[in-house]
Amino acid sequence: MLLTDYYRSWIETYKKGSVRPVTLKKYINALSWLEKNVPSMDLSTVNRVAYQNIINLYAEEHEKQTTADFHCQLKSALLDAMEDGMIQHDPTRKVVIKGKAPRDKKPKFLSQAELQAVLKQLNLGEDPSVDWLLLLIAKTGMRFSEAIAVTPNDFDFSKQTVSVSKTWDYKAGGGFSPTKNKSSVRNIPLDWKTVIQFMELVKGLPDDRPIFVVKERIYNSTVNSKLERLCKAADTPVITVHGLRHTHASILLANGVSIASISKRLGHSNMATTQKVYLHIVQEMENKDTNIIMLSMAGL
């Protein structure tokens, strides 16, 4: 059996219908790459050397992290092939992940002062708009797909919370979809100012319809373009909508909120995910803590 034939069958058997469409697409993209670059490789010939050569070839055109993701997607299938006796040994053992040097990354988040400057540029009218959507994401740290799925019913103004229990499938034409994982289902506490603002905004709107998807489809690129204009007007680094989520978490971390609380607020599956994403900020806080500790001990 060809490697590509096995991988295609494996995706159909184990992944289709069991993972989210965006995740399934990653496996299908990996299959497309294999079909293009190693179309005639037999599954039985995939030993450690052959597998390393596949990874090396992929790494020639991709960054190290992207190569690592590709390795994870392919490794799962090959381990199943070994378990089924189709290959004799684990060809992925001790693989060396290579990759192109990372490109210069755009800023992922803003400081608290920079975010305040951007929020001052918002035009918050009486009706729902992209500006209102950006405010909601900045204040809650929601994912874009979660924020555009919010309905008036999701707000509990008496308890000052907004619930996240679904997403809006904006990539496939719309409609409610499940959240990214079970941990993504959560209630996010709101500050009093945000409660008052959204209490007025949702008056008279259909209780069970998305606030920000009324007449036409909404696109991530459109919202990113609006945020870019706001950042430039505020003379801050340009970030994406997802960068607003990073900004939200970064500000909380910088103000001493625990990793556990931030992880729950963001809907991460575990605290390790939060620590990994915001490791640089955690390290900065640890350095500050060390200075405080040394000053405290020196004063004894």
| For residues 52-77, average pLDDT | 94
Asked if residue 227 and residue 118 are part of one domain, the reply reads: yes
| For residues 181-198, average pLDDT | 94
For residues 118 and 135, give the distance between their C-alpha atoms in angstroms, rounded to a whole number. 10
The CATH number given to whatever domain includes residue 224 is 1.10.443.10
Asked if residue 257 and residue 183 are part of one domain, the reply reads: yes
| Confidence check: pLDDT of 282 > 70 | no
| Confidence check: pLDDT of 267 > 80 | yes
Residue 300 lies in a domain: no
Looking at 83, 99, 122, which one is the last position of a domain? 83
Residue 297 lies in a domain: no
Note the residue count of the chain. Answer: 300
Question: Structural domain of residue 53, as residue ranges?
Answer: 3-83
Residue 284's pLDDT is 61
Looking at 68, 83, 98, which one is the last position of a domain? 83
Asked if residue 156 and residue 117 are part of one domain, the reply reads: yes
| Confidence check: pLDDT of 280 > 80 | no
Residue 98 lies in a domain: no
Asked if residue 267 and residue 153 are part of one domain, the reply reads: yes
Residue 271's pLDDT is 86
pLDDT in tens, 94-152: 999 999 887 766 667 888 899 999 999 999 999 999 999 999 999 999 999 999 999 99
Asked if residue 273 and residue 154 are part of one domain, the reply reads: yes
For residues 108 and 123, give the distance between their C-alpha atoms in angstroms, rounded to a whole number. 23
Asked if residue 270 and residue 149 are part of one domain, the reply reads: yes
The CATH number given to whatever domain includes residue 26 is 1.10.150.130
Cα dihedral 170, 175, 180, 182 in deg (nearest 10): 160
Residue 64 lies in a domain: yes
Residue 107 lies in a domain: no
63: helix, strand or coil: strand
| Confidence check: pLDDT of 256 > 70 | yes
Q: How far apart are the first and last CA of the chain?
A: 72
Residue type, 13: T
Question: CB neighbours (10 Å) of residue 3?
Answer: 27
Asked if residue 263 and residue 133 are part of one domain, the reply reads: yes
Residue 96 lies in a domain: no
Percent of the chain exceeding pLDDT 90 equals 70
Residue 293 lies in a domain: no
For the record, the structure tokens of 197 come out as 């603002």
Helix 48-59 × helix 64-83 angle, to 10°: 150
Residue 191's Cα: distance from chain center in Å?
A: 24
Structural domain total, the chain: 2
| For residues 28-42, average pLDDT | 96
Residue 230's Cα: distance from chain center in Å?
A: 22
Residue 197 lies in a domain: yes
Question: Model's pTM, two decimal places?
Answer: 0.70
Looking at 41, 67, 83, which one is the last position of a domain? 83
Asked if residue 64 and residue 124 are part of one domain, the reply reads: no
Average pLDDT of the chain is 90
